[in-house]
Amino acid sequence: MDLYKILTVALGGSLGSVARYITVRSVDARLNAMFPYGTLVVNVVGSFAIGLLYGLALRKTGFSEPWRLFLGAGFCGGFTTFSAFAWENFSLWEQKMAPAALMYVAATLVLGFFSVFAGSFVSRFLE
């Protein structure tokens, strides 16, 4: 393993984690709801960002490997919250809120996949 690459991912991941925390807290505080909107927003935005990054990197628009590691594996990896998604669904099921849990799963998957495609599509216009 290359220590420089590991540190690059670690720095991006730490910044992504802080951005996730701030985003989730801000969204949830504004909406003051039982539904985990903050995590949903983070997953959708993170999916769009990784799609955009992937699309740009494929077109070789100057993204070096360190930047791809920093932004992709690092920042986006730290920013997206699949483990929180899984826990929140478990919690909704435990609270006998099955319809909300099913909606959350469906919305996250559909919007997440759509956002990856949208990010990749938008990247074509940024060359």
Q: What is the mean pLDDT of the chain?
A: 92
Q: How many domains does the chain have?
A: 1
80 is in an annotated binding site: yes
Q: What is the pTM of this model?
A: 0.80
38 is in an annotated binding site: no
Higher-confidence residue of 53 and 115: namely 115
Long-range contact set of residues 103-107: C-beta below 8 Å, sequence gap at least 24: 104/35, 104/36, 104/40, 107/40
62-89, pLDDT tens digit by residue? 778 899 899 989 999 999 978 888 889 9
**Of all residues in the chain, what percent are helix, strand and coil, respectively (each to 5)?**
85, 0, 15
What is the domain extent for residue 95? 3-123
